[in-house]
Amino acid sequence: MFFNSIPVLMYHHVMPLNSPLNVTPEVFEEQLNGLTRKRWKTLDGKEFLYLMGNPKESRKKCLLITFDDGFVDNYIFASPVLKKYKMKALLFVATDFITDLDIKRDNFKPLTHKEMWRLAFSERKHEVMCTWSELREAEQEGFFDIQSHGHSHRIPNFIEISDYVAIEKDLKLGKELLIRHLSKDPLHLAWPKGVYDEKAVDIAKKLGFQGLYTTQRGANLNNPLLIKRIAIKNKGIGWINKKLIIYSSSILSKIYHRIRL
Sequence ranges of the domains in the chain: 8-260
- Helix, strand or coil, per DSSP, at residue 166: helix
Average pLDDT, integer, range 69-76:
98
83-124 pLDDT per residue, tens: 999 999 999 999 999 999 999 999 999 999 999 999 999 999
What is the rounded distance in angstroms from the CA atom of residue 179 to the CA atom of residue 194?
24
φ, ψ at 179 (rounded to 5°): -65, -45
125-170 pLDDT per residue, tens: 999 999 999 999 999 999 999 999 999 999 999 999 999 999 999 9
- The one-letter amino acid at 206: K
User: Model pTM?
Assistant: 0.96
Average pLDDT, integer, range 231-259:
94
What is the rounded distance in angstroms from the CA atom of residue 80 to the CA atom of residue 14?
11
Would you say 174 and 197 are in contact if contact means Cβ atoms under 8 Å apart?
no
Average pLDDT, integer, range 47-62:
94
Top-tier CATH class for 8-260: alpha beta
pLDDT at 46: 96
- The one-letter amino acid at 78: A
Residue 98's contacts (CB-CB under 8 Å, 6 or more residues apart) are 70, 129, 130, 131, 132, 135, 177, 181
